[in-house]
Amino acid sequence: MSGRRFLSIGECMVELSQAGDGLLRKGFAGDTFNTAWYARACLAADWSVDYFTALGDDAMSDEMVAFIETAGIGTSLIRRIRGKTPGLYMINLKNGERSFSYWRDNSAARSLAADPDCLREAVESADVVYFSGITLAILPQEDATTLLAEIRRAKAAGKLVVFDPNIRPRLWSSYDVMHATISEGARSSVLVMPSFDDEAAHFGDDSIDATIHRYKALGAVNIVVKNGADGVRLNFAGEETFVPAEKVKKVVDTTSAGDSFNGAFLSRYLETGDAPAAARFAAGVAARVVSEHGALVVKEKLGLSSGR
Ligand code: ADP
């Protein structure tokens, strides 16, 4: 059981948020990176957690690599591309409402699958491979095809391949490409972890049953459907379980609720194989994450026991 590697594939961006007095605070975040962060916080030390992306050779890329390393997440597989820079987003606050501006069209991460050998080396080194609909959305179509072929190879090799559809229509060239590529992502995976809100809004599911049936029909063996404060539904090898969300006194910031749930869930599931227990644990971690500001809540505030 020792020496296993969890690999998350996607884009981590520079985050600018309001720090008061017109000042901006710099951070780093992105769906697949957030999940790696929580997996690292919750997994035992005999697991390594690595992030796979592409970055540039500028000072901001160096800073991001240093930040990822400080979080205990491996960076040795990250591709560096001369002349490129990381993507950037800003959180705007107006009358208490948050909105987001993105500068990611030319980000280095868009080339993360452009070197197939590099990608293969990373995927082959892992026991668990995690990616999302955002990972697929940012890639040129032929690179998404390359990544999906590598993902299918990983599944065929018996690795646990985990996919969060994370549907973001604005990142896709058309609805049809989005639908087809996300469906292919799910078909290529073993465990699919969608959020019901997204699936209802963009794929027209009128119930959680509909989401489960759609992903089952595509060939996913195991499905976890997250539904915010209404808990999660698990379907593992056909067996259904409902796990409620934890009560939260005051929801402060729901950024990365789903990402943290995924990371915490996987950490327990990988160690015990008990999906309902893993979901109960993850509901506790996600409840703490929505009670704090920001995407990345430090380990000390996650209420983990026994040194995790
Ligand atoms: P996403 O961020 O992907 O939309 P959800 O909103 O479904 O994901 O949230 C993921 C998990 O976070 C939920 O399953 C739940 O455990 C927790 N969570 C989210 N919102 C709340 C809330 N208001 N109260 C308690 N837990 C929450």
Q: Among 254, 291, 292, which residue has the most ligand 1 atoms within 8 Å of its CB, making it the best to mutate?
A: 254
- 3-state SS assignment for residue 7: strand
For ligand 1, the distance from its centroid to the CA atom of residue 183, given in whole angstroms, is 23
Indicate whether residue 245 lines ligand 1 (CB < 6 A).
Answer: yes
Using one digit for the tens of pLDDT, what is the confidence trace for 184-231?
999 999 999 999 999 999 999 999 999 999 999 999 999 999 999 999
Residue pair 87/107 in contact by the 8 Å Cβ criterion = yes
240: phi then psi, degrees, rounded to nearest 5: -95, 140
- How many other C-beta atoms lie within 10 A of the C-beta of residue 223? 24
Using one digit for the tens of pLDDT, what is the confidence trace for 99-131?
899 999 999 999 999 999 999 999 999 999 999
- Residue 196 confidence (pLDDT): 98
DSSP state of 246: P
Indicate whether residue 187 lines ligand 1 (CB < 6 A).
Answer: no
Q: Whose CA is closest to atom 6 on ligand 1?
A: 228
Q: Whose CA is closest to atom 9 on ligand 1?
A: 228
Indicate whether residue 201 lines ligand 1 (CB < 6 A).
Answer: no
Q: Length of the chain, please?
A: 308
For ligand 1, the distance from its centroid to the CA atom of residue 286, given in whole angstroms, is 6
For ligand 1, the distance from its centroid to the CA atom of residue 5, given in whole angstroms, is 26
Q: How far is CA 231 from CA 228, 258, 279, 282, 287, in A?
A: 6, 11, 9, 11, 11
Q: How far is CA 293 from CA 41, 63, 224, in A?
A: 17, 22, 25
Amino acid sitting at position 237:
A
Mean pLDDT of the chain: 95
The predicted model scores a pTM of: 0.97
Indicate whether residue 283 lines ligand 1 (CB < 6 A).
Answer: yes
What is the set of active-site residues?
Answer: 259
H helices present in the chain, as ranges: 31-42, 59-70, 116-124, 133-137, 141-156, 175-187, 196-203, 208-218, 257-272, 275-290
Give the Cα separation of 210 and 129 in Å (integer): 26
Residue 306 binned pLDDT confidence (cut-offs 50, 70, 90): low
Residue 273 binned pLDDT confidence (cut-offs 50, 70, 90): very high
- 3-state SS assignment for residue 296: coil
Indicate whether residue 12 lines ligand 1 (CB < 6 A).
Answer: no
Indicate whether residue 243 lines ligand 1 (CB < 6 A).
Answer: no
Residue pair 268/42 in contact by the 8 Å Cβ criterion = yes
- Please state at what angle helix 275-290 crosses helix 31-42, rounded to 10 degrees: 110
Q: Whose CA is closest to atom 20 on ligand 1?
A: 228
Indicate whether residue 255 lines ligand 1 (CB < 6 A).
Answer: no
- For 170, the enclosing helix (H) or strand (E) is none
Give the Cα separation of 244 and 250 in Å (integer): 17
What tokens were used for 73?
A: 């997440």
For ligand 1, the distance from its centroid to the CA atom of residue 76, given in whole angstroms, is 32
